[in-house]
Each structure stands twice: as structure tokens, then as C-alpha cells.
């Protein structure tokens, strides 16, 4: 089974079990309106300050939401941009996002299925690229690099990317490192044996090991992106996550 197929299959399983829960486990209480309200609330805190960097008004620009899930932030972006595309690797997530964000209510918002490695968008078509709590689930550094290179490809010359990354692994130590070394089938069985969530055990959920914050500029540069700022993340414990603000390096 190829990695792209495995990412899709595993996220489809999560979406079928409880799509809302796996998008936002810490805040999901069954209230759909509150789920989307949190997206708008966090967009005001996390996105709006960065939109000032766009050289053209956001209302005349296009945005791309990488790893959109159920469209929580896609909907918020649709209130800020002329056109918004939400992309996700999960067929189930994309179908549910379309149901939750109908065209008649959000005519400038659409959802597309990606393969987890390439973005289904034309080159230089996005003035703003956003991704939140997505790169932390990418199973290998190669998948991360592929997605960053795609962000560079789709970003317009004057565009800005705001990418959320994990910068410190919780529970770092021998046990955590051993966990990353386990094959997915073994990790899933071990989790199930102790009554844990087997769908949150494999590499397509736990992701690859994080990179130190100081190594992020080099990583993005390898994908053709120039880091203009690394912002602290007020929505997670200190040092555990960060937002990278980046632009496309000239071809």
C-alpha cells in the first residue's frame, strides 16, 4: 500500500468514526455551531494579523486551506477572501465538508480532494496559503517537504503562507522515540491492547518527529520558501507549536 493511499485510508477511518473529534479532540463537545465559531475566533487571532502582509486586499484575493478537514477555517477564510479552496487527503472529510458548508451559503468556497503529497491547485494561484494542525500529522519528513514544495508552487509571487508546525514533541524521551520506530500495525495493536485509541496510534496521526524551531528556515528554504517570521502559537502549550510566515523565493 502506497503512503498516499495509507494516509487517505486512515483519515477516512477517523472521519467515519467521528470526524469532528479527530479534527479537534480537545474542544469537541458535540456542538457543531461552537466548532465553527472556534474557527472564526481563532482566525481573528491567528490569521488576521498576518493578512496585513498581503499587498492586495484580501477581498480580491484567493486562499488555500491545506488539510481543511471539515472546513472549520475554510469557512472563516471565505469571509475574508474572494475565493477559497479547502484541500484534504480524506475522501470522507471532503464529502462532510461539502455538506457542512453548502454552496448556497458559501458560494466562494469549494473543497477538493488531494493525495497528501500534491495540491490540486494551479501554480501561483493562491495569495494566501493556510494550514493548522496538519503538518504535525504528516508521517515522514519527505511528506512534509513535498507539501512545502507544493505550497511554494501554488503561492503567488506576492502571496503569504502561514503554516502551523510542531516544534517540540510531548513526552520526548526513549519511550517516545521507540514509539516512532514501531510499524503502524504494531503501534495500533499495542494501543488497542491497553484500551487506547487505535486510530490515533499510527504514523499518519502521530506524525514524524518534530524539528527544532531554529531548523525551520532551512527546511522551508529547501522547498523554495523564505521564512519572514516565526510566530508563537497561543493555542497550544509554549514551545510545542509555532506558525511559520513564508513567501515564495524567486524562481
Q: Which three cell numbers stand for residue 110?
A: 469549494
Task: Tell me the CA distances in angstroms from 207 to 23, 73, 211, one per residue in order.
Answer: 15, 21, 12
| Backbone φ, ψ for residue 115 (5° rounding) | -105, 10
pLDDT for residue 198: 86
| Per-residue pLDDT at 173 | 47
**What distance in Å separates the CA atoms of residue 88 and residue 227, rounded to the nearest whole number?**
24
**Residue length of the chain:** 251
pTM above 0.75, yes or no: yes
Which whole number is the average pLDDT over 162-183?
Answer: 66
The mean per-residue pLDDT over the stretch 51-66 comes to 87
Please tell me the predicted confidence (pLDDT) of residue 181: 59
207-248: per-residue pLDDT in tens?
A: 988 889 999 999 999 999 999 999 999 999 999 999 999 999
Q: Tell me how many degrees the CA angle 55-60-61 measures, rounded to the nearest 5.
A: 70
Fold annotation for 3-168+210-248? Rossmann fold (3.40.50)
CA distance linking residue 18 with residue 30, whole number of Å: 10
What number is the average pLDDT over the span 131-155? Answer: 97
Sorted by where each begins, the domain ranges of the chain are 3-168+210-248
The whole-number average pLDDT for the span 6-10 is: 97
User: Residue 160, SS3?
Assistant: strand
Helix (H, G, I), strand (E, B) or coil at 16: helix
pLDDT grade for 28, boundaries at 50, 70 and 90:
confident
- What's the pLDDT tens digit per position in 177-212? 555 556 666 566 655 666 678 899 899 998 988 889
Least confident range of 19-23, 130-134, 148-152, 168-172: 168-172
Amino acid at each position: 500500500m502506497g503512503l498516499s493511499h495509507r494516509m487517505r485510508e486512515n483519515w477516512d477511518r477517523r472521519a467515519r468514526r467521528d470526524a469532528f473529534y479527530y479534527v479537534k479532540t480537545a474542544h469537541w463537545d458535540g456542538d457543531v455551531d461552537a466548532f465553527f465559531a472556534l474557527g472564526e475566533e481563532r482566525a481573528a487571532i491567528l490569521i488576521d494579523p498576518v493578512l496585513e502582509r498581503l499587498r492586495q486586499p484580501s477581498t480580491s484575493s484567493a486562499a488555500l486551506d491545506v488539510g481543511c478537514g471539515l472546513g472549520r477555517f475554510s469557512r472563516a477564510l471565505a469571509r475574508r477572501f474572494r475565493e477559497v479552496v479547502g484541500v484534504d487527503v480524506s475522501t470522507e472529510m471532503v464529502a462532510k465538508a461539502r455538506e457542512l458548508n453548502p454552496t448556497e451559503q458559501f458560494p466562494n468556497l469549494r473543497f477538493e480532494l488531494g493525495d497528501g503529497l500534491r495540491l490540486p491547485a494551479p501554480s501561483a494561484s493562491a495569495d494566501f496559503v493556510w494550514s493548522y494542525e496538519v503538518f504535525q500529522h504528516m508521517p515522514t519528513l519527505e511528506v512534509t517537504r513535498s507539501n512545502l514544495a507544493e505550497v511554494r508552487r501554488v503561492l503567488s509571487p506576492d502571496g503569504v503562507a502561514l503554516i502551523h508546525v510542531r516544534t517540540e514533541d510531548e513526552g520526548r524521551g526513549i519511550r517516545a522515540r521507540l514509539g516512532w520506530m514501531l510499524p503502524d500495525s504494531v503501534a495500533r495493536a499495542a494501543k488497542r491492547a491497553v484500551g487506547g485509541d487505535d486510530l490515533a496510534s499510527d504514523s499518519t496521526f502521530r506524525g514524524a518527529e518534530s524539528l527544532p524551531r531554529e531548523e525551520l528556515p532551512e527546511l522551508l528554504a529547501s522547498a523554495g520558501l523564505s521564512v519572514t517570521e516565526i510566530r508563537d502559537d497561543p493555542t497550544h502549550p509554549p514551545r510545542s507549536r509555532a506558525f511559520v510566515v513564508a513567501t515564495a523565493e524567486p524562481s
